Structure 1
Amino acid sequence: MSHIRIETTGAITHIVLNRPEKKNALTRDMYQTMADGLKAADASEQCKVVIIRAEGDMFCAGNEISGFADHGSDPHMGETVSFMHALLNCKKVVVAEVSGLAVGIGTTMLLHCDLVYASADARFILPFINLGLVPEYASSYILPRMAGRRRASEWLMLGEPFGAEEAREVGLVTKAVNVDQLRDTVDKVASKLAAKPSFALLQTKALLNNEADDIRQHMDYELDIFIEAMGTEAAQEAFDAFLNKRAVNPDKFK
């Protein structure tokens, strides 16, 4: 069974996280498959809209932490970078559908989507600080501009979860709806977008995306610091504690 399903119907491509038994935690292969799916959608003359959604009751648990820790200074970086650059560079309209919990990159990727619809009970968390890490993929650039410096600092420095309504208030989420209405809401929005004139729709996205070069530059800058953070004693202690299901040693996590 593929952990990423890619399905195309008319002008709409669906990228579906399909690993519900592992809470849709992302592996190297999953990142690469998503990257390839985005690039294929971008190359398609027919495709106008990409929907990113997930099976199960959790959108994404972030990275598969065992593989993440095992790669030292290269935590899926090639595949993750490929996916995130494909998402940033995607010329088609990207719509995310989020139910349940979005952890780490499960939230980070939403910053690079055009529209985000969430269930009213969805929760988001950027827990990097709790792993001895720093923000990723330009979240420290985008979030202050989206949510304000104070809110961004709270989310990134405390690493605590926040809800769909708070996310909607600052623009991370376009709209929050009851979970039983979410799929229908996203499908209707995607159909409306697909009915728009291609040139006007895609050029509107391009005009809105006029900070892409700055975002790309900040992505690379953050990545250098992220890799450096991976090598710190605090990060190594956090990963070891997680994998061995024990409490963090405060003498090493400082």
Structure 2
Amino acid sequence: MTDTIRIERDGRVLVVTMNRPDKKNALTHAMYAAMADAIDGAQEDDGIRVVLLTGAGDAFTAGNDLVDFQSNPPRGTDTPVARFLRAILNAEKPLMAAVGGVAVGVGTTMLLHCDIVVVSENAMLQTPFADLALVPEAGSSLLLPQVVGTALASDMFLTGRRLSGEEAVQIGLASRFAPHAELETEARRIAHGIAAKAPEAVRLTKGLLRRNREETGARMAHESALFTERLKSPEFMEAATAFMQKRPPNFG
């Protein structure tokens, strides 16, 4: 476990908090590994019935830590990133998210694997993969169009369009809205309510709703291969350098 991921047992709810507020909870390989361990462990723990993801400070997560990923690009199927993506794809127990700040890149795409997403007025969702010379991940090129339609998914992926929490609820990317001061309390209340229900009925219901996991997993694998190639591309090198230098990228 790492101190950048905080794990709390709240009754039958496991609260997993991305805890790197000085970097807006940007995700490193170590953080992915810790979250994968927590989610996978919860599946084997009869005392846990719901997993709730949240972020410390004023962010959910700003997405991948570009310095960490540029210096150590993920390769293969057993990397921390791959393990995390498999964990959220295959989780049989309900996954929830409380989003009270920026949710960029994987911060948005992981929500597609959450069964309940609660957002506040401070939430801002964005998928700026093309801005970084990357491609969508987490199966989002399949799942996002299914949720919001191809037109809006294309707008989000190709322009990096930002969505407010209210918009996320309106288009079905989030389940509920809560005032920011009450966000985590409301998310925990919902989680405890689900945890009090018949666990096998809940598991089977989620399985029916998520019945296309095999197709999603295949798309996720294809995206991951492309994503890894993009991390070695001259376009990504320029995008990452421009990001660090706080200037617009020049793609010629």
TM-score (norm 1): 0.94
Shifted more, 103-112 versus 161-170: the winner is: 161-170
Shifted more, 206-215 versus 77-86: the winner is: 77-86
In 1, Cα distance between equivalents of 2:184 and 2:73 = 38
Per-residue CA deviations over 1:16-64 (Å, capped at 9, x if unaligned) read 1111111111111110000000011001112110111111011101111
2:59 maps to 58
In 2, Cα distance between equivalents of 1:45 and 1:71 = 36
Corresponding residue pairs, total: 251
1:66 alignment partner, SS class: helix
Shifted more, 42-51 versus 75-84: the winner is: 75-84
The yes-or-no answer on 1:44 pairing with 2:71 is no
Asked if 1 retains the 8 angstrom alpha-carbon contact of 2:74 and 2:81, the reply is: no
Shifted more, 53-62 versus 240-249: the winner is: 240-249
2:68 maps to 67
1:52 alignment partner, SS class: strand
2:178 maps to 177
2:239 maps to 238
In 2, Cα distance between equivalents of 1:12 and 1:228 = 38
2:185 alignment partner, SS class: helix
**Consecutive unaligned residues in structure 2, runs of 5 or more:** none
The yes-or-no answer on 1:217 pairing with 2:207 is no
Per-residue CA deviations over 1:197-218 (Å, capped at 9, x if unaligned) read 1111111111111011110011
1:180 alignment partner, SS class: helix
Q: Which amino acid is 1:186 matched to?
A: A
1:198 maps to 199
**Consecutive unaligned residues in structure 1, runs of 5 or more:** none
Q: Once superposed, what is the RMSD of the aligned Cα atoms?
A: 1.7
1:59 alignment partner, SS class: strand
1:24-35 equivalence runs, <5 A: 24-35=25-36
Shifted more, 122-131 versus 67-76: the winner is: 67-76
In 1, Cα distance between equivalents of 2:73 and 2:86 = 22
2:113 maps to 112
Asked if 2 retains the 8 angstrom alpha-carbon contact of 1:73 and 1:228, the reply is: no
Cα separation, partners in 2 of 1:226 and 1:68, compared to 1, 3 Å: same
Asked if 2 retains the 8 angstrom alpha-carbon contact of 1:69 and 1:75, the reply is: no
1:56 alignment partner, SS class: coil
In 1, Cα distance between equivalents of 2:24 and 2:183 = 19
